[in-house]
Structure 1
């Protein structure tokens, strides 16, 4: 009797302990879910408080690493890079010890974002490719999509629109297969940026509209800031000032609901652009621009500052403040060179050329113009527009086929589950077992489809690498040709100057 009582007591104790552990696990997971939700809406301070509370309930090293991973995500979004490095180091150490590939994928991907923000594109590419290789090995299509999107942004910053659009469409395809709304909204916005740079404004607007529609449904406030800034500026190009102001005002409203200084600065800069183009009110424009620069300098956002300085230089030039104007242009050029951003370097040289030309200093105007042309021509340009359209058509066709197969498989599985349940209710065990076998077989087929998808992504990656090698060979040949042409041009210029001297 005593033994039985002890057994019952021990059994109850085990139940209590197990239940307590389950409750702790549930509390921990709820904290992480709430923290993630706050990150996605830009409420970073609340997310940080939740995550620090979650550390008390982490209980395992893996959970601890998950928390540090999210804290690193918040830090990079706020551009608090010193804090980011600390949390990233904690998470990386634990993930490496545990050999947690999923965490390592995310950490390498985020390091790529950090290096890209710092203008270290080679290091960014290394981190992205490490993350991509790990993702393909694990068949993590959601992660593969994120990395393709980031590689697209990297290639866009480097002036390679072909590789950018390839990666963006690869990302979109995978985001849609995984029904990742946030990823879809972001990628549509990225694709829009490429079409804008190719001069296809109407296409760019349509892609932004699709992205905004998706982001509104999931209340993606940070994403809506970016999308509304972009579409607002596109409408300015179309001279539709009413729609431009509507979207740019919405961008400011969404931005000020987040705790993201980078987004707020971008929204203020967008309003400055509106005042410059639409109303020609340079005084108000300069006020918006100054607010944007102050925030961007606070968070040391070099990429944005390299563009804001140019715009501020333009404004100072418009009110005949030559010293301030030159200083801003010079800052823009220096910063763009340190970031190796060819688009921005070319732009800064062009503005300096215009600056000197308007003041009668034609030699300096000519020198800066030559540099502008040199950098502009080094960027892969509009000749590849037909290739971009080819990628889009291919994507649309493959997407349609994939969606049909996925839909049919999902419907079949759902129907088989219903038939199995009905057989069990009717007491027909044999039929229920038959349906279960069919479910298992179809599930295996689905796994095979997923495997084929991962093989496709590997093939795409291989094709991208091959195209890079071919491109490098062509680029080398083109560089040699340009060097010869410059040599001939210099000889011609020298002859002209000598002739002028004798005259």
Structure 2
């Protein structure tokens, strides 16, 4: 009996122990499942945060990342913590909060160091390098990139090494250390070639092209861009993703801009149309709208006459084809063109013709659109009764056809019209209706505009400005967010103008500052100036203009005269830069008038000078001169010497344009005397060069030499090797023209020596050619042959057909003069073949030389 009890007891104990083990095991499994669920939840938060960040929803992204971070911390998942800290670093960097970004990257770095994961350590060094570079902290940025590079080299990670070389190249380029930037990009390119990474190769060709662009080496720029395009076209053909299409479009755009810079408009057009074709989902639209697109292209490059020809050509073709829809479209585009160029009557005629065809074809939507555009012209002209009538007509049509976007636009335009007439009730009603519709359509840009207009309306009606301020802030917040959404991508993308890229980085920081402190009136005004500059740097002229105009509108309603003058000046400078000289003149005159009432002498002088430049560009020299003289008189009384030097230089340019060489010399000498007194080194360089040009034009070689030698000496003191080399080359050309061949040869040899230091192959080839011409004139054919062959060798490496053809021609002429007929014929034949291949007009001259060779 006792044994039985004992057995039962032991059995019971066994079951209890087993139960405990099972429960513990199940608890362990449950814990594991809970951990897994928690981990998955953290990963989901990370993904969601990434989506928010890409869409520009900063606060939502931060909140979601922090939730993920908290879970990883609870799980003590060190890798997850490091990943989330890195994500938060990216977010804070995107928002411009450098301090927080640095803290997150450093936390991530510390964890990866503790975990001994070198690749992730290197990635954090790269993140810190990018952060420091964005802030302009060049030395720490370089140190971070070099540390990352060292780790990737130790790991033999080709992609990581190439990326660090790329980062270093970009850093050196922004610092204008062109030689080191080029070395880094070439090293990165070599690695991407080795691993056959097409995208990496394409990117480095763009980087090199951008580098050569800012250094003024168009031929090498073209070569790099074409290589990049060739790769990008192949990639896009096999993988036609949106990203690849956008990348190819950007490359076409860069090459188009290069050709435009060289005034090669046929090639610029070709690349521009290719860019449009790859960007468009409807290739047939490009054929239909070809001339309108080209018209807009020329407007963006300040080529107004060419633009008008394109619009008129498109109209003519559609008229010949009797294509009524096409005719209407071109009338409308011409109307917008004439409005931009300040020809309102022409714009009105075009719109009236478009409306007539719209009505005959019963196209109600177009009648509404073109009527609203016509209404804008009447508003600008001050014909308010006509404007109201036609805008109400457009609104009624849009209501009938239930076109909400059209209705919203009409409400806004009517609201601004009634506000200008002092009808607050109807103005408010229209603007609020427009705002409500734009909210449903999620049109943030239009919402921002409506808020601004409501702010202007309330500011006029309510002296305390409380409601106006609320509207201004809402509008400004929308405008800032719209700018910030795409600004990070814009700052980091390859941009044809490295200076522009640097400006965008600075402007982005300013935008973030404004977004965090928009409560003060002056912050609002300067924010719109910053926004204007931001869009201007992106070449988004329309948005830039809108931002500058908003700043002006706010200052007008707040009736702060000094601020109004500044805003008018901003617009004037913007229109000068975009080639819209009539509008620039109008804005600057408004600024001048306000400054005259305020008796702001310094600002008056500035506006006189700017107006003088505008009239000079308009070739109205008699109107420009008295303005420069007024500016000079004021600045002299104020003791603003640097400005006085600038005015003397402008007066010298005027004298040169009139053919008054003596007057130009006197003005440049006055400018130089001041620039030397105040030690304005850049202006002194310009003065020396200008005076040298004047002295050469009248054969005063000794005085010209004196100016060029002074220019060289000052350039050497500034220490930029590439600039020094170009000055020696200029002196070489000067001595050659003067007939002093010995000095010419010395100068070209010195220039070549410096070109070698800079590894500037194109300049070296050019200077070898010029040196060869000197030796030829000196009767030294062997020396001439030697340097012509060196020039040929470099040009062949650079694969520049035009320069290769010229090198062959130079050698051919040299051999012909020596009676070496066979060699001459071979060289000239090679030259002719290349000239014919590229369609160069020199073919005729080379053919004549070949015909003149007699083989003995």
**What TM-score do you get using the length of structure 1 for normalisation?**
0.52
1:205 alignment counterpart: 225
How far apart are residue 251 of structure 1 and its match? Answer: 12
1:91 alignment counterpart: 108
How far apart are residue 150 of structure 1 and its match? Answer: 1.1
Aligned 8 A contact 2:178 2:211 in 1: yes
Query: What is the CA–CA distance in structure 2 between the aligned matches of 1:78 and 1:143, rounded to whole Å?
Result: 26
Q: How has the CA–CA distance of structure 1 residues 3 and 167 changed in structure 2, closer, same or farther, with 3 Å as cutoff?
A: same
Segments of structure 1 that go 5 or more residues without pairing to the other structure are 254-270, 286-290, 328-350, 393-503
The one-character-per-residue Cα deviations of 1:413-452 (angstroms, maximum 9, x if unpaired) are: xxxxxxxxxxxxxxxxxxxxxxxxxxxxxxxxxxxxxxxx
Query: What is the CA–CA distance in structure 2 between the aligned matches of 1:352 and 1:63, rounded to whole Å?
Result: 63
Aligned 8 A contact 2:112 2:120 in 1: yes
How far apart are residue 377 of structure 1 and its match? Answer: 0.7
1:104 equivalent in alignment to 2:121: yes
Aligned 8 A contact 1:275 1:284 in 2: no
How far apart are residue 162 of structure 1 and its match? Answer: 4.6
1:131 equivalent in alignment to 2:145: no
1:122 equivalent in alignment to 2:122: no
Aligned 8 A contact 2:249 2:276 in 1: no
What does 1:411-490 correspond to in 2, within 5 Å?
Answer: none
1:11 equivalent in alignment to 2:25: yes
1:219 equivalent in alignment to 2:236: no
2:653 alignment counterpart: 358
Which residue, 315, 320, 323 being the options, matches 2:606? 323
2:71 alignment counterpart: 57
Aligned 8 A contact 1:205 1:234 in 2: no
2:304 alignment counterpart: 279
2:723 alignment counterpart: 377
Q: How has the CA–CA distance of structure 1 residues 76 and 356 changed in structure 2, closer, same or farther, with 3 Å as cutoff?
A: farther
2:187 alignment counterpart: 170
Q: Relative to structure 2, which stretch is displaced further, 100-109 or 237-246?
A: 237-246
Q: How has the CA–CA distance of structure 1 residues 21 and 156 changed in structure 2, closer, same or farther, with 3 Å as cutoff?
A: same
1:234 equivalent in alignment to 2:247: no
Aligned 8 A contact 2:252 2:272 in 1: no
Aligned 8 A contact 1:115 1:121 in 2: yes
Q: How has the CA–CA distance of structure 1 residues 25 and 315 changed in structure 2, closer, same or farther, with 3 Å as cutoff?
A: same
Q: Which of structures 1 and 2 has the larger relative contact order (alpha carbons within 8 angstroms, sep 6+)?
A: 1
2:509 alignment counterpart: 299
How far apart are residue 365 of structure 1 and its match? Answer: 6.0
- 2:218 partner SS: coil
Aligned 8 A contact 1:211 1:227 in 2: no
For the pair shown, the structure with the greater C-alpha radius of gyration is 2
Query: What is the CA–CA distance in structure 1 between the aligned matches of 2:48 and 2:574, rounded to whole Å?
Result: 40
Which residue, 106, 113, 132 being the options, matches 2:130? 113
Aligned 8 A contact 2:102 2:128 in 1: no
Query: What is the CA–CA distance in structure 1 between the aligned matches of 2:201 and 2:121, rounded to whole Å?
Result: 23
Q: How has the CA–CA distance of structure 1 residues 249 and 81 changed in structure 2, closer, same or farther, with 3 Å as cutoff?
A: farther
How far apart are residue 148 of structure 1 and its match? Answer: 0.6
Query: What is the CA–CA distance in structure 1 between the aligned matches of 2:158 and 2:80, rounded to whole Å?
Result: 23
Aligned 8 A contact 1:72 1:84 in 2: yes
Query: What is the CA–CA distance in structure 2 between the aligned matches of 1:180 and 1:37, rounded to whole Å?
Result: 28
- 2:127 partner SS: helix
- 1:56 partner SS: helix
Aligned 8 A contact 1:236 1:244 in 2: no
Query: What is the CA–CA distance in structure 2 between the aligned matches of 1:204 and 1:313, rounded to whole Å?
Result: 33
How far apart are residue 30 of structure 1 and its match? Answer: 5.0
Aligned 8 A contact 1:314 1:325 in 2: no
- 1:65 partner SS: helix
How far apart are residue 132 of structure 1 and its match? Answer: 1.3
Query: What is the CA–CA distance in structure 2 between the aligned matches of 1:129 and 1:364, rounded to whole Å?
Result: 50
Aligned 8 A contact 2:259 2:268 in 1: yes
Which residue, 163, 168, 173 being the options, matches 1:156? 173
Q: How has the CA–CA distance of structure 1 residues 104 and 193 changed in structure 2, closer, same or farther, with 3 Å as cutoff?
A: same
Query: What is the CA–CA distance in structure 2 between the aligned matches of 1:300 and 1:57, rounded to whole Å?
Result: 35
Query: What is the CA–CA distance in structure 2 between the aligned matches of 1:134 and 1:273, rounded to whole Å?
Result: 49
How far apart are residue 149 of structure 1 and its match? Answer: 0.4
Query: What is the CA–CA distance in structure 2 between the aligned matches of 1:129 and 1:233, rounded to whole Å?
Result: 34
Query: What is the CA–CA distance in structure 1 between the aligned matches of 2:48 and 2:795, rounded to whole Å?
Result: 40
Segments of structure 2 that go 5 or more residues without pairing to the other structure are 1-14, 281-295, 308-336, 342-482, 484-499, 512-529, 538-569, 589-604, 611-645, 655-663, 676-681, 687-710, 726-757, 766-792, 800-856
Aligned 8 A contact 1:316 1:324 in 2: no
What does 1:329-408 correspond to in 2, within 5 Å?
Answer: 357-358=652-653, 361-363=667-669, 368-371=682-685, 374=715, 377=723, 380=758, 381=760, 382-383=762-763
Query: What is the CA–CA distance in structure 2 between the aligned matches of 1:43 and 1:51, rounded to whole Å?
Result: 14
- 2:71 partner SS: coil
Aligned 8 A contact 1:105 1:134 in 2: yes
Q: How has the CA–CA distance of structure 1 residues 53 and 223 changed in structure 2, closer, same or farther, with 3 Å as cutoff?
A: farther
**What TM-score do you get using the length of structure 2 for normalisation?**
0.33
